[in-house]
Amino acid sequence: MCEIIQAKGYPCEEHFATTPDGYILGMFRMPQPSKPGPPVLLQHGLLDSSFTWVLNYPGQSFPYILYDLGYDVWLGNNRGNTYSKNHTTLSIHSKEFWEFSWDQMAEYDFPTQIAYALQTNAMYPKLVYIGHSEGTTQAFAGLSANSSISNSLYGFVGLGPVVSVTHMSNLWLKDLLDLGVEWIWNLLGLYQFLPTPVELHSEFVWACAECPICCNEVIELICGRHHGAFNNSRMNVMSGHEPGGTSTQNIHHWAQMVKDPTFQKMDFGSKRNQEIYGQAQPPVYDLNNLPKDLPMMLYSGSHDELADPDDVQTLVTTLEGIVESLYWKEVRKYAHLDFAWALDAADEIYVEVTDIMRDWVEGI
């Protein structure tokens, strides 16, 4: 990660934040040269990592744009991905290490990374949180369960926001989840989902270098067609860092969301639920508990096959009755990856986001 950022002429530091349940999360910081600017934390989506934010060049990738505006830029990583495979006591080869879903990302990873960035910066009492896909899911869940986290936030920017995927139109991914692939993974003792094997990884990089368009087709099969302009020449770079991986249990949780629109914790079955939650049904994340005074900006895509327009519309309608300052824009022809990878994302989204952020943040 730092090699990529530094090669563009930007500073980079690697940090490690430890959650209350022992997961050691890799974070990357782009510090300002003199005094720290206002901190911004960017959080990736499902099966992804912080790399997703720096795939493109300066002027195209959000972290570089934010840094050039004077922000103290932080790139987070959820437990179990490429940069967060460590724990204070558990081995990554143990089943116990992989017993998590986005519930734990919401409860632990979300507030831990916020607190670490603010503790390290120490010049500002709050930061701006920018999430993509699952990075928004854990924020909505975390803030619903613990609204006091908002005391550390200037505002929340959600790109491709997700709290429900019942209208998801990506047939490949939907079929995969409907088939219950997570049960096959568990049966085989594969508790980590989609970690690219070393042998396959090198072949993937080679294939993407030889045929960027072919590589692009594979990515689109998983994440949906993109409609913003991609830089196909960067596909071989992408293939060296994606996918970021997650736990099979997390995929199981997402599979449950396809079948049930309720924004709730993972369902382990009534008996196990009783043991874990003290009730037969999994607890619901009540969006009515979101902090009313936390400003939010949401950006969705008209062609997003994961954060489907119907699901986003339902979310926005709900939030309009809760959040006092809510801005929503549907970007024409944008799909799920375009928010981070499209070459025109700066013009379509980032410039407007940073303009509004100036009203949120002191010192910019």
Q: How far apart are CA 345 and CA 228, in angstroms?
A: 8
Q: How far apart are CA 86 and CA 19, in angstroms?
A: 11
Catalytic residue among 133, 164, 247, 300: 133
SS3 label, residue 72: strand
In residues, how long is the chain? Answer: 364
User: Could you tell me the two tokens for 186?
Assistant: 């568990």
CA angle (267, 168, 221) in 5-degree steps:
110
Cβ proximity of 287 and 257 under 8 Å:
no
Q: How far apart are CA 311 and CA 164, in angstroms?
A: 6
Nearest by Cα to 319 from 302, 300, 296: 296
Residue 133 annotated in active site: yes
Residue 87 annotated in active site: no
β 153-159/296-301 pair status: parallel
Q: How far apart are CA 140 and CA 105, in angstroms?
A: 11
What is the layout of strands, in order, in the sheet containing 153-159? 13-18, 24-30, 72-75, 39-43, 127-132, 153-159, 296-301, 326-331
Residue linked to tokens 């736990």: 247
Q: How far apart are CA 219 and CA 188, in angstroms?
A: 25
Which residues are CB-neighbours of 5 under 8 A, at least 6 positions away?
Answer: 11, 12, 28, 30, 54, 63
CA dihedral over 278, 279, 282, 283, signed as positive or negative: negative
Catalytic residue among 87, 132, 252, 336: 336
* Residue 29 DSSP label: E
Residue linked to tokens 């022992």: 22
Catalytic residue among 304, 308, 311, 338: 304
Q: Active-site positions?
A: 133, 304, 336
